[in-house]
Structure 1
């Protein structure tokens, strides 16, 4: 079943590359009295863990996220105090039945900069996890970070530790571009770290790269892809560079110190994406999720459990980490010292909470997550919810079919090429109408990754999806 294709199916394209749902978070005014609502004494299920390491050496010019710049001298001994706190917090979360009887499927150490921690501190955290949690035999453990952190002792440890996946934020192999964006990464150090890990028998390496950076020529991008081709990398995540309001890069562009970005809808930027697709296909990669490319068999397990399976829980540990437990989204504010103090008081650091998901919102969340892999399997949906996807979302399905954004065949609703180009808008089709126009959440604390969601849903649905 197909429909005539239009090139402008929506009033404007939404391009922020993630949706956290439900969007609104409210201040947790009940403190630790909120914990019983998480049902921590109940039997657990499959879950993943996200550890927030909230430190960076420098802040990239357009970074909107929470980081605490950690001096190499660390005069207040912040790194050690933070590690003491996160170990205690991990042990406290592990004491609950919910996380003792479930199965920990994947662990992601991000930030900030996960790799920034001293090797001994990193080892202490991982030893705590594996001593206290029911880690699945086929687990995945990703360490995200910066090639500059990979000293010889850290390379040796990572290659012979519980870590079985490394993610490096390379962004570009062009030094001039890295300077323009204020990146802490260095091209030659990234190449060296990848080669050093490979020489130690470490196989599962993923890279982050960006395109359409300020002054980023297509020829430079093509050279970046050629360098990538010669490296032993199994997974690639790519992003359009974004200028976030109020960041230093936003100010530099307005002052004329940095070139403005080329329009992301221009043919020039589209050709950069085509270069990416061609290069990854020639390398034997496949595009299995939006922005994610890999060699077959090297898909991101953390993302699979988080987005492509129904209602898998997330235990977020550390300041500015978020959890999804018992159908609540909960998280802590952007405050390292506040986090340390709370843990030292014997408390969990929960400053923001969502409403509990209703059965309908659970379905919406599932569909938006699964669409990141381009399709909804109708039989799998019925197995998960005991109802028909086509009946539960009849108006939404009719709209996206009518606009040529998807086609229905072989028990699947699959996005067309146009649907992939407008995929964030397509995902927004499945959001609850009652969430739009929610402005009171703007006044409540939430962390940086959730800010775009709160801002988006404070507006009008019609502005993004039309009538």
Structure 2
């Protein structure tokens, strides 16, 4: 398989990833617009269907599997047997690297001592835990189930279970959550000493409770300058404590960058299974599974392959995607490789724009790489859009 790669895909042997979407949650967070159901009655049926899809689509990837990622939804609702069933399906269908990163997203309330040990013994070697904040009032406001004590207990439990690679999620730009409170959240995270930290600015999506509240003028988003101040403070504090920012939202200690995240940004092929999951063949084709649990289950039970649809990317779309994804990373966009692949000299084409944003301390160009600076990360998508090749 030939992969159109610019700058980031320098692997001696191309690897691949598998993403498993577990579309269930105990309750809906007020900000979430991912595909999930709070009706858990068909969970076992869904696990069986996901296992079947993995086997049915075994020809989609020919490369060894380097990353496996259980996302959702709330994958920590799965039992030991359900995780083993899915991993066994992957083992029967694919070649898995001996150093594969196997991540499971988890909520603190699910990480009892017993459950943490079960996850570890099932073969999970990395946990991504949704802490979000340590402010009790804001946890309730976001409709999170857990409280601060459960967060602290969960991290203790997973360490005792043997996990040596954990990532903690925090949300910034929460209304009425001051810079001081945000700093307190960051300091608490640093004290817990995870290997990886992910930061997400609160976004208000239309089909959510927060979207409804905003429409009714019951919620006002944090002003951009306040959100920027929180983000830049996080960059500084995490850097001071040996967390390297390797992507817009992600920080890791040396040797603990997320392999799965890096695969997405590098154009590596991946198979997405479960309702709402996406796949990419590493070349020009994406595949989208139906975001409907009942339709997905009916299709898999009836051997119907029409539970997904394909999108074929043009060369220009693929190249624009490379601009978008690589600019999000610490390494940046490889200008020479991009010009060789596209025939476009971006620096020459966008000289005035790049000079302007360099003067604003948003970007830098060195060693033939265009890199965003911390303030540039705040407007990464806008910069990428200005650099896109016209269709």
TM bin (shorter chain): 0.7 to 0.9
Q: How much does 1:160 deviate?
A: 2.6
CA distance in 2, matches of 1:79, 1:277: 39
Q: How much does 1:162 deviate?
A: 2.0
Does the 8 A contact of 1:49 with 1:106 survive in 2? yes
Task: Give TM-score, length-normalised by structure 1.
Answer: 0.74
For 1:140-172, what per-residue CA distance to the aligned partner results, in whole angstroms no more than 9, with x for missing partners? Answer: 111012121223432112223321110011100
Following TM superposition, the consecutive aligned residue runs of length 4 or more in structure 1 with deviations greater than 4 angstroms are: 253-256, 379-382, 386-390
Does the 8 A contact of 2:102 with 2:124 survive in 1? yes
CA distance in 2, matches of 1:199, 1:180: 31
Residue 84, structure 1, aligned to residue 48, structure 2: yes
Residue 66, structure 1, aligned to residue 35, structure 2: yes
Measured at CA, do residues 122 and 416 of structure 1 come closer, stay the same or move farther in structure 2, by a change above 3 Å? closer
Q: Aligned residue for 1:339? A: 296
Q: How much does 1:387 deviate?
A: 4.2
Q: How much does 1:214 deviate?
A: 2.6
For 1:53-108, what per-residue CA distance to the aligned partner results, in whole angstroms no more than 9, with x for missing partners? Answer: 0001111112122111134xx3xxx11111111111111112x2x43x32111111
CA distance in 2, matches of 1:105, 1:188: 34
Q: Aligned residue for 1:118? A: 79
Residue 151, structure 1, aligned to residue 90, structure 2: no
1:342-361 matches, within 5 Å, as 342-354=299-311, 356-361=312-317
Does the 8 A contact of 2:139 with 2:146 survive in 1? yes
Classify the secondary structure of the residue corresponding to 2:35: coil
Residue 54, structure 1, aligned to residue 10, structure 2: no
Residue 261, structure 1, aligned to residue 261, structure 2: no
Q: Aligned residue for 1:130? A: 91
Q: Aligned residue for 1:278? A: 236
2:177 to 173, 192, 216: 216
CA distance in 1, matches of 2:16, 2:202: 31
Q: Aligned residue for 1:399? A: 353
Classify the secondary structure of the residue corresponding to 1:144: strand
Task: Give TM-score, length-normalised by structure 2.
Answer: 0.88
CA distance in 1, matches of 2:187, 2:129: 17
1:175-186 matches, within 5 Å, as 175-186=136-147
Q: How much does 1:274 deviate?
A: 3.2
Q: Aligned residue for 2:365? A: 408
Aligned residue pairs, count: 374
In structure 1, the gaps of 5 or more residues are: 1-43, 435-467
Q: Aligned residue for 1:319? A: 275
Q: How much does 1:282 deviate?
A: 2.7
In structure 2, the gaps of 5 or more residues are: 1-12
CA distance in 2, matches of 1:281, 1:403: 24
CA distance in 2, matches of 1:273, 1:158: 32
Measured at CA, do residues 222 and 402 of structure 1 come closer, stay the same or move farther in structure 2, by a change above 3 Å? closer
Q: How much does 1:431 deviate?
A: 3.3
Classify the secondary structure of the residue corresponding to 2:122: coil
| Greater displacement, 84-93 / 152-161 | 152-161
Q: CA RMSD in A?
A: 2.3
